[in-house]
Structure 1
Amino acid sequence: MKLWGGRFEKTTDALVEDFHSSIRFDQRLYRQDILGSIAHARMLGSVGVIAEDEASDLIAGLQAILEDIQAGKVEFEIGAEDIHMNVEKLLTERIGPVGKKLHTGRSRNDQVALDLRLYLREEIDQSKALVVKLVQTLLDLAQKHLETWMPGYTHLQKAQPITLAHHLMAYIQMFLRDLGRLNDTRKRLNVSPLGSGAMAGTTFPLNREKVASELGFDGVTLNSLDGVSDRDFALEFLASASILMMHLSRLCEELVLWSSGEFQFIAMDDGYSTGSSIMPQKKNPDVAELVRGKTGRVYGDLMALLTVMKGLPLAYNKDMQEDKEQVFDAVDTLQKCLLVVEPMLRTMQVQREAMAGGAKGGFTNATDLADYLAKKGVPFREAHELVGRIVLHCTKQGIGLEELTLSEYQTISPVFANDLFEAIGIEHCVRARKIIGGPSPETVAEAIRQSQAVLLKLLEK
């Protein structure tokens, strides 16, 4: 008989039983569910709702079930619907009628909200640790490549010379913001909904704060309707995970481009590449491509839960059972991607000469030539037009700006002098950009130091 079956005269249809059950996926919450029940049982005993010895029996029984599940000795039942009912059924079978007292003052509605918060809190901490490791690897790479010259791009067209360190630092800033978002999400979810009951609290004198403190929460929810029906915290995590995956995807897209024969800026390690079943010469960046693809999967998890929650009236509705699979999938996908991207970056080979060669082509020093004229007193808009004409001429001749002679430059403007060639040298173009946020090695080195300090502060929160 169902634990809730007193109201019913006939059993649930077999098809409905299978359709309704969530134990196939929510069994993943068994540890959080049992830890929450232990704290609830201890509180029930301390406030006198049940006898102290009954609370002790409940706690001992729950701890034994936890150990047996972890040892693989428990087989969950579809008919018991979910992890909450499975645990309670096991507990009652093992310790007798006192097991039926565990659910006093509690509903599955506030119980599942508690379990999911506990689960996400742990997974956010795990995800943060993986992001931190990724940022540290990127910081190490940036430190090694302060003077690895490369072209910067806009519209995927060569724009201005920068360094690989400067390029990597852009992603470091993104991932540091991702850490901040995960911190904020964790802070907002870290309140206990237990005690909200089905939707209107309970008449039992529960000590909600005691349970919250034992489980490591910062406080309790202040409205019972909100406590059982809120999934903002799950949506916020999915949104944060989606943004983080977007950043991973952008980085991986560049690795795919850079490892191509057209760029040859990097060579992926064999351990993070795959081959072709028909073309023996191929070395494919499949890992980076798959991260790019899995980003859409996490986006889908966010959109699915947003759609589930759209238009739901207060308080709990069965639709909300669909929250867990989206959260589980996003957690798994995000963490697997973080796990593989970090060593892929750490083991790739940077082709410095190819990057430097790329920086010299495509007129990446054209802006510096215009700046040179502006510093000589030529209005910038006029300088821009003059350099545009020079670029057009060089394009037709198939040469670079540095290949024109001084006399040729002076036929265009008498302002040009011998110092122009130093001004448009690729290294000078980069080193001269010492403004905060710029690509000069000196500036990037300081940005690395500041980013390391930011990382430490984020770890303290």
Structure 2
Amino acid sequence: MIDSSSFPHPVYKDTVLAPLFEGVKAHHVTSITQINQAHLVMLCETGIVPVETGKQIAKALVEIEKDLADAEPEYTGEYEDYFFLVEAELKKRLGPDIAGMLHTARSRNDMDHTVFKLALAKRCDTLTQQALHLCDVLIKKAEIEKETLIVAYTHGQPAQPSTFGHYLSAALEVLLRDLERMKLARAGIDHCPMGAAAITTSGFPINRERMAELLGFSEPLLNSYGCIASVDYVTGLYSAMKLMFLHLGRVIQDMQFWSAFEVGQLYVPNSLVQISSIMPQKRNPVPIEHLRHLASITVGRCDAIVGTMHNTPFTDMNDSEGEVQQAGYAAFESGSRVLDLFAALISASSINEERVAKNTDASCITITELADTLVREEGLSFRQAHEIAADTAKAVIAEQQPLRDGFDPFGKAFEAHAQRVSSMSEDQFMHAVSAENFVAIRTRPGGPAPSALDAALATYKQAATALRASNKSYVDQSAQATKVRSAAFAKLVQE
């Protein structure tokens, strides 16, 4: 029979408290240690706790940290959670009066959200670094492939020629915008809740700015109620993350389509191909499938966290804490795998130029430039030119000819619609409908011509450099805080 006469109820212990305890051990012990150290330093600096007492607490915290790390404690239910375990260990060493001073002017409310922000900030910075590496890979590959022709598709059908570099640059542009959204979300994390205590701050003369500095935040989050109630730092970050992997998933889907046997535009090397167990002729680029489902899993995990916040009260609540936060960390794990694997796929893959040429010939995708050339060179209206081009395309497709061999049907179509003979020679016609000319002539900003693409890539490099500097500033801010906090805490321990 289950004993439900005292806290914790055995089922509550097994289903809630024990998993939370294990989650803290896995993800948050370091952050709790940092907060304890910073809070003690601030209490001593403001005179709220006498320095001599602070020294005793500091030395005991060092012992407790080592002892708990060595013991790897399991949850027994004796103490509600990891926080109370540390407090109990302090009491054993210092007695309840001195041990209790560490918790002056703070609450588990402001501590919890500070712990979560520290954990998310580190993960966000790491993920951003990985995404910036992918940006570098895309830039480098786009530069290498800026003249490599591809068939660009719309609505799943061959549309116009472009280059692999132009395509990758489009994906890069989106990723850079996604990183701007991640940058904004990261700024939402960079405000420290410590000092809010339970809801309304404290009557003690605490120094919230010093706490923010010691923990690596730029400043305190101003409104104390918002410190424990506003979870937009969570929803903002996971929303930005979701969009990054949703958008990458669309590019990954193109890679799957391009590598299909019937298209064959993308060649995936053997190092990223698995062979069927029964059909030895099959080259299965399964890493693309793993990329696709990992990106979707990441999107789903982000959605789960944001969805959990829906219709929750604007107050401190478990719906935004503990297990919810720990569940969200899985999105960073799967997202990290996507970024690394996708960077490897882009670096290693190449365009099958023979298949591109074959598909270009079969699909008549340069016909748009024939119409444009007729407008420029023959003085026709676009509608006239379009009708001539359409008739030419129909004729060569019916004969299963490449467009470059369609000079005769072109001449007939021109005479039929323009009521005169075209001044274009066969060589001029063949040049006008070549994929190389199609790309080269599109020099407008954002176009696939090498000059236009070079200009765009220069802009992308600048954007990536600025994002890298912003991310580095957060990493440096955290490192500086660790240095300052460690020195201040060590002074208490050593004196």
> How high is the TM-score relative to the length of structure 2?
0.85
Q: Percent identity?
A: 26
Match of 2:457 in 1: 448
1:35–1:424 CA distance, 2 compared to 1 (3 A): same
Match of 1:417 in 2: 424
Shift in Å, 1:91 = 4.2
1:84–1:335 CA distance, 2 compared to 1 (3 A): farther
DSSP 3-state at the match of 2:54: helix
Bigger CA drift: 93-102 or 382-391? 93-102
Query: What are the superposed Cα offsets for residues 22-79 of structure 1, whole Å, 9 maximum, x if unpaired?
Result: 122233111112111210111111112222133233333434444566x664224252
DSSP 3-state at the match of 2:390: helix
- Give yes or no for contact 2:129–2:468 (8 Å, CA) kept in 1: no
Match of 1:3 in 2: none
1:389–1:94 CA distance, 2 compared to 1 (3 A): farther
1:255–1:67 CA distance, 2 compared to 1 (3 A): farther
Match of 2:203 in 1: 203
Shift in Å, 1:374 = 1.8
1:350 and 2:351 aligned: yes
1:228 and 2:228 aligned: yes
Shift in Å, 1:316 = 0.8
DSSP 3-state at the match of 2:159: strand
Match of 1:29 in 2: 28
- Give yes or no for contact 1:409–1:416 (8 Å, CA) kept in 2: no
1:11 and 2:39 aligned: no
Kindly report which structure 2 residues correspond to 1:85-96, keeping only aligned pairs within 5 A, or say none: 85-96=84-95
DSSP 3-state at the match of 2:261: coil
Q: Give the whole-Å Cα distance in 1 for the aligned partners of 2:349 and 2:80.
A: 48
Kindly report which structure 2 residues correspond to 1:97-112, keeping only aligned pairs within 5 A, or say none: 97=96, 98-112=98-112
- Give yes or no for contact 1:152–1:162 (8 Å, CA) kept in 2: yes
DSSP 3-state at the match of 1:361: helix
1:177–1:323 CA distance, 2 compared to 1 (3 A): same
Shift in Å, 1:17 = 1.9
Shift in Å, 1:415 = 3.6
- Give yes or no for contact 2:362–2:401 (8 Å, CA) kept in 1: no
Pairs aligned (count): 453
Q: Give the whole-Å Cα distance in 1 for the aligned partners of 2:396 and 2:350.
A: 34
Match of 1:403 in 2: 405
1:68–1:145 CA distance, 2 compared to 1 (3 A): farther
Match of 1:5 in 2: none
DSSP 3-state at the match of 1:297: helix
Shift in Å, 1:11 = 2.3
Match of 1:143 in 2: 143
DSSP 3-state at the match of 1:312: coil
> How high is the TM-score relative to the length of structure 1?
0.91
Bigger CA drift: 210-219 or 286-295? 286-295
1:274 and 2:269 aligned: no
- Give yes or no for contact 2:35–2:215 (8 Å, CA) kept in 1: yes
Query: What are the superposed Cα offsets for residues 4-27 of structure 1, whole Å, 9 maximum, x if unpaired?
Result: xxxx99322111122332122233
Query: What are the superposed Cα offsets for residues 347-385 of structure 1, whole Å, 9 maximum, x if unpaired?
Result: 224323333433343111111011112212222123223
Match of 1:4 in 2: none
- Give yes or no for contact 1:192–1:219 (8 Å, CA) kept in 2: yes
DSSP 3-state at the match of 1:433: coil
Amino acid at match of 2:432: A
Q: Give the whole-Å Cα distance in 1 for the aligned partners of 2:216 and 2:288.
A: 37
Query: What are the superposed Cα offsets for residues 243-273 of structure 1, whole Å, 9 maximum, x if unpaired?
Result: 1111221222122222222222233233333
DSSP 3-state at the match of 2:200: coil
Match of 2:50 in 1: 51
Q: Give the whole-Å Cα distance in 2 for the aligned partners of 1:55 and 1:226.
A: 30
| Stretches of structure 1 lacking an aligned partner (at least 5 in a row) | 1-7
- Give yes or no for contact 2:265–2:356 (8 Å, CA) kept in 1: yes
DSSP 3-state at the match of 1:455: helix
DSSP 3-state at the match of 2:283: coil
DSSP 3-state at the match of 1:204: coil
- Give yes or no for contact 2:242–2:302 (8 Å, CA) kept in 1: yes
| Stretches of structure 2 lacking an aligned partner (at least 5 in a row) | 471-495
